[in-house]
């Protein structure tokens, strides 16, 4: 079953907004182009930054139209060597031979064929890098992703580089708060839930209670003055609260054994002075998991804004495919 991640996240404010609002820049460029009168078409092609950016976006739009684009992008970026190359070509242009020497300085011995086919071609395919002649450099889209490289290096270490991205989808889902097992089954396919949870737990990206669920004891709203209590019943009843308490904490609070508490709770429930409620086990993000999930959210915002900007770039020849959702 495919996983759909809807693009429609709240855009950041302040300095972060500058990195995400490419569509505003495109609208500004569009107005400049309307008022521009170049001496020749060649001047427009070779010198105009607006033309270069629009051409980049037209090319990238083809990749973004792929319903599996987000999954492909994540799988490409979950590779430490590719991320190292992204950081290098963000600063200047490199030939394959120069990248080979750059990688060698960090202890990586790679053939030029491997660098080209295994690392550069995938980056070009998802629009992070592009090529002019024999040189490669980061696209505007790639440059916007570069600040996230450090966190994606952590993701590359924790998760498989070739996957259906169930783990990433679940991390993003948990960013809005803890989820029960039943809710998680609605996010990813049931047959993959157990494996996905185990992998994220082992990577220390999510956390959950060891118990399958918690049982809390609550004090009811019934008037206790209408009932008679034994000494032990009164002690247990007074330790209850409207917010609920587990049997373990109730035992500590009353200095009674769990066995005795269960015996007298049956009496209190019979008098309708107490009731039990089972709280399902939930899964939540660890601090590292939250950082990685937040990074993926920022990446999705960049992708969304890039899609909107590419629409401006090709408005005279708009594609008939306009996805509002991107499949992981």
Residue by residue, DSSP assigns 279-310 as EEPEEEE-HHHHHHHHHHHHHHHHHHHHHHHH
Of the listed ranges 108-112, 159-163, 269-273, the one predicted with least confidence: 159-163
Four-residue CA torsion sign, 96, 102, 103, 107: positive
CA distance 56 to 160: 30
Question: Order of strands across the sheet with 282-285?
Answer: 179-180, 282-285, 206-207
Taking residues 67-88, report their average pLDDT.
93
Report residue 50 CA to chain centroid gap.
Answer: 31
The residue among 53 and 44 whose pLDDT is bigger is 53
Q: Which residue has the tokens 């509002």?
A: 324
Do residues 154 and 292 touch, judged by C-beta distance below 8 A? yes
pLDDT of residue 294: 93
Rounded CA-CA distance 168/74 in Å is 9
Average confidence (pLDDT) over 242-248 = 83
Q: Are 64 and 307 in contact (CB under 8 A)?
A: yes
Phi (first) and psi of residue 219, to 5 degrees: -85, 130
Average pLDDT over residues 171-180: 92
Q: What is the pLDDT of residues 204-225, one digit of tens each?
A: 999 986 655 567 888 999 999 9
Which of 184, 225, 87 minimizes the C-alpha distance to 143? 87
Supply the pLDDT for residue 36: 60
List the one residue out of 212, 214, 221, 216 whose CA is nearest residue 277. Answer: 216
Cβ atoms of 198 and 283 within 8 Å: the answer is no
Least confident of 48-52, 103-107, 159-163: 48-52
Share of the chain above pLDDT 70, in %: 78
* Position 161 confidence tier, pLDDT thresholds 50, 70, 90: confident
- For the cut 70, the answer to whether the pLDDT of residue 231 exceeds it is yes
Tell whether the torsion through CA atoms of 142, 143, 149 and 151 is positive or negative.
Answer: negative
Residue among 268, 256, 279, 262 nearest 220 (CA)? 268
First to last CA, the chain: 11
pLDDT at residue 177 tops 50:
yes
Lowest pLDDT segment from 96-100, 237-241, 275-279? 275-279
29 pLDDT above the threshold of 70: no
DSSP category for residue 118: I
Q: Does the pLDDT of residue 91 top 50, yes or no?
A: yes
Confidence check: pLDDT of 100 > 80: yes
Question: Is 60 exceeded by the pLDDT of residue 317?
Answer: no
97 confidence band (pLDDT: 50, 70, 90): very high
Task: Give the integer Cα–Cα distance in Å for 139 and 151.
Answer: 20
pLDDT tens digit string along 7-27?
Answer: 233 333 344 444 446 656 655
**Residues 308, 322 contacting (CB under 8 angstroms):** no
Q: How far apart are CA 125 and CA 129, in angstroms?
A: 8
Write out the E strands in the chain: 4-6, 94-95, 129-132, 135-138, 179-180, 206-207, 213-219, 245-246, 274-280, 282-285, 325-327
Mean pLDDT to the nearest integer, 73-99: 94
Q: Are strands 213-219 and 325-327 parallel, antiparallel or unpaired?
A: unpaired
Per-residue pLDDT, 203 = 92
Confidence category of residue 30, pLDDT binned at 50, 70, 90: low
CA–CA distance, 155 with 142 (Å, rounded to integer): 18
Whole-angstrom Cα distance, residue 61 to residue 127? 9
Domains of the chain as residue ranges with CATH:
4-157+296-327 (no CATH), 213-280 (1.10.10.10)
């Amino acid at each position: 079953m495919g996983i759909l991640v809807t693009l429609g996240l709240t855009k950041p404010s302040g300095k972060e907004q500058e990195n995400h609002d490419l569509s505003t820049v495109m609208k500004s460029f569009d107005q400049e182009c309307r008022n521009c009168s170049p001496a020749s078409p060649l001047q427009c092609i070779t010198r105009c930054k607006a033309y270069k950016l629009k051409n980049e976006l037209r090319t990238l739009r083809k990749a973004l139209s792929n319903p599996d684009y987000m999954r492909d992008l994540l799988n490409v970026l979950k590779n430490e060597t590719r991320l190292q190359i992204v950081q290098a070509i963000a600063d200047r242009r490199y030939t394959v031979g120069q990248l080979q020497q750059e990688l060698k300085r960090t202890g990586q011995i790679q053939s030029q064929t491997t660098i080209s086919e295994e690392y550069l071609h995938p980056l070009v395919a998802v629009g992070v890098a592009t090529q002019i002649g024999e040189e490669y450099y980061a696209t505007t889209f790639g440059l916007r992703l570069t600040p996230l490289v450090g966190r994606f290096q952590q993701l590359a270490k924790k998760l498989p580089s070739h996957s259906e991205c169930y783990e990433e989808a679940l991390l993003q889902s948990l960013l809005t708060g803890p989820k029960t097992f039943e809710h998680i089954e609605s996010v990813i396919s049931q047959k993959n839930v157990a494996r996905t949870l185990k992998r994220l737990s082992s990577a220390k990206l999510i956390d959950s209670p060891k118990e399958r669920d918690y049982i809390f004891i609550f004090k009811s709203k019934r008037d206790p003055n209408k009932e008679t209590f034994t000494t032990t019943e009164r002690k247990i009843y007074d330790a209850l609260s409207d917010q609920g308490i587990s049997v373990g904490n109730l035992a500590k609070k009353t200095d009674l054994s769990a066995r005795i508490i269960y015996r007298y709770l049956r009496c209190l429930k019979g008098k309708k002075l107490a009731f039990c409620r089972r709280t399902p086990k939930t899964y939540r993000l660890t601090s590292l998991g939250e950082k990685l999930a937040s990074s993926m959210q920022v990446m999705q915002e960049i992708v969304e804004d890039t899609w909107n900007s590419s629409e401006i770039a090709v408005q005279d020849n708009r594609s008939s495919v306009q996805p509002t959702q991107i499949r992981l």
